[in-house]
Chain A
Amino acid sequence: MTDLLQHAFNGLVNGSFYALLALGLAVIFGMLGVVNFAHGAFYMLGAFGAFILLNEAGVNFWLALVIVPVVLGLFGMGLERLLVRRLVALDPLYNFLLTFGLTLIFQDLLRMKYGSQPQPYPQPAGLRGTVDLGLFDFPAYQVFVLVFSVLVSLGAWLLLARTRVGMIIRAATERPELTRALGIDVGRWVSPVFGFGIALAALSGVLAAPMRAVSPLMGADLIILVFAVVVIGGLGSIFGSVAAGFLIGMLQALGNVYVPGLATTSVFILMAVVLLWRPAGLFGREETAV
């Protein structure tokens, strides 16, 4: 029983990465209609950002947790203004391809500088041991990741659901023309929202650095799993993408207990089931397109 709980806990920790990445994807998709393939690359850049800050400037984990998302978020805003914006009016195909190309570029640049070998990143002081949560001891860092991602997800939800900015963003997502007709400058919010989504990816990258090895390819395989997650959860729903993230993390961990070797495949099997049963996703609305 405790064994099972332990697996479920590890699953939730993995799921928190899916959730944060899916959240960023969903926010960007909602506002711009863009599926950002480079999301995994920004996760990787986040991890490398923390790694570089530590080794070149001696900046510790906690500062990196603030600096890296802000810097990469700003970089994302620049990217939106320079490149993504030019293609937004066209078919979503083109921004998907653009961000795919950017992924290859980012990956190769870091591979040329640091090689493909995974680099270690030390766990932050103070989160090295384990914490006793009643039933058994959990690794402190993993507990921190889980709590922190839940808080970030909640924060993002509060921002979208309870603030004026969130109201504008939700309105612009659902009815861009109508929102504009009501005198709200929708275009003004596009860059910040894109940057926010990128910052979330960078944040999960920094969180991943002490847990997973830092390598140029760490984001690519992950983002494809996250695509499966958002197909399951429904990209149109912020809540759905976060919930699906945690759910699939759990499912993978528990699936691995009962059917070892099926951990990676289980996500795709679930995706197949969802496509048959609820094509719009568990939490998604029916699309208007045929």
Chain B
Amino acid sequence: MTALVFRKLGAMSRLWRLVAVLGGLLIALALPWLIYPPVAMDIVAWALFAVALDLLLGFTGLLSFGHAAFWGTAAYAAGTIAIKTGAPFPVAVAGAALVAMVLAVPIALLAVRRTGIYFAMVTLAFAQMVYYLANQWSSLTGGENGLQGIPKNLFGLDLSDPFYFYYAGLPIALIGLLIAWRVVHSPFGRVLVAIRENPARSRSLGFPVDRYKVMIFVISAGLSGLAGGLYAISHGFASLQEVYWTTSGKVVIMTVLGGIGTLWGSVIGAALIVQVEDYVATSGIHLGPLNITGPGLITGLIFVGVVLLFRRGVWGTIAHLVRSRRRGVPDVEPHLSGTPSVAEREPAVAPKS
């Protein structure tokens, strides 16, 4: 599927690509004028987080259901660095990304020993361990109260207005997105796709599959850390919510909603989910006697709806429409590494007609 997207991108004229990139940048720059600036910052941070997850889920076929561990740890790390040292916030965010990468190494080395859905369970379990540790280690994390009063230092500039902070934080996220783009469009990225499609063949071709998986896991964790650090600085606050399993789930649904394996789709997915949750949290949805105030119900319904009816996601659907108009290319559902795609697999249980 990704290969097809690549081919399509190749066919797209350079001009169009330039227009798309400039258009995206323009939207990113105009965002705090269009919506409430703190929400704009949230969208940017979550977008980077979702793109980082897509590197694993979409391009390598590894479902990490524990990415909150890296986002949350980085949130605490960025807060701690900013509070304790008073360093400029980009330094704190970069340091936080590094901490997330260090944490990712042992988790990745253990998790790659299982594949498929087990990988999801293992990462979820380790993330829960990080959650328990964060809860216990309250001298550092503030426990239930969270880490409060994180400063936004930048060489004496006053960034307390979220509108200005957005422009200070945006470059960090853009650098993260650029790294993700570079990774996907590199020989390394092509090997990842090969691992997703056929790990056994990749191994027999001489690629150290597990080492590649660990490397991309650590890169993804680093980008998630960048996003989590930025998020904590922007809110001036890091809480247990950041390491909780619901956060891991939220970023997965962003990626799935945007379109697995489409990279930029994750940005759209993040924007949609953040907006919906913000809307539900501030005004709620009132359907007759039903008052929906919590985000869980809405997120859950989106999960169920997307998985049942909209598995290609926003970007994937657009790509599919463009593609199928041009020529009849077979369409493959995204799948995890180590599990055969539907086309080559007999269903485990025949659906009864």
Enumerate chain A interface residues (CB-CB to B < 8 A): 31-33, 35, 83, 85-94, 96-98, 100-105, 107-109, 111-112, 172, 176-177, 180, 186-188, 190, 220-221, 224-225, 227-228, 230-231, 235, 261, 264-265, 267-268, 271-272, 275-276, 279, 287, 289-290
Contact = CB atoms under 8 A, between A and B. Distances in A.
Contacts of B111: 275
A201 to B, nearest CB: 17
25 contacts: A33-B349, A35-B117, A35-B120, A88-B347, A88-B348, A91-B333, A91-B339, A92-B339, A93-B334, A101-B300, A105-B297, A111-B294, A112-B292, A112-B293, A172-B349, A187-B350, A187-B352, A224-B124, A224-B128, A230-B121, A231-B122, A276-B113, A287-B115, A289-B115, A289-B116
Contacts of A90: 311, 333, 335, 342
Given A100-B252, A176-B346, A290-B199, 6 more contacts: A91-B342, A97-B253, A108-B296, A112-B292, A176-B349, A276-B113
Interface string B303-315: 1100110010000
A265 B303 contact: no
Contacts of A190: 349
A169 to B, nearest CB: 12
Contacts of A230: 121
A101 B339 contact: no
Contacts of A172: 349
Given A33-B348, A231-B125, A290-B209, A101 B307 contact: yes
Interface string B93-137: 000000000000000001101111110111011101100110010
Nearest to A95: B307
A88 B307 contact: no
Contacts of A272: 110, 126
A16 B203 CA distance: 42
B118 A231 contact: yes
A3 B124 CA distance: 34
A66 to B, nearest CB: 29
Given A85-B351, A97-B303, A276-B113, A268 B128 contact: yes
Contacts of A289: 115-116, 338-339
Most buried by A among B245, B253, B299, B349: B349
Contacts of B333: 90-91
Contact of A97 (B209, B256, B301): B256
Contact of A275 (B110, B200, B304): B110
Q: Do most interface residues of chain B lie in helix, strand or loop, or is the interface mixed?
A: helix
Interface residues of B, number: 61
B202 to A, nearest CB: 9
A88 B203 contact: no
Contact of A88 (B335, B336, B349): B349
B303 A100 contact: yes
A272 B246 CA distance: 23
A289 B117 CA distance: 11
Contacts of B82: none
Given A268-B125, A275-B122, A220 B245 contact: yes
A108 B297 contact: yes
Contacts of A96: 63, 65, 117, 120
B154 interface: no
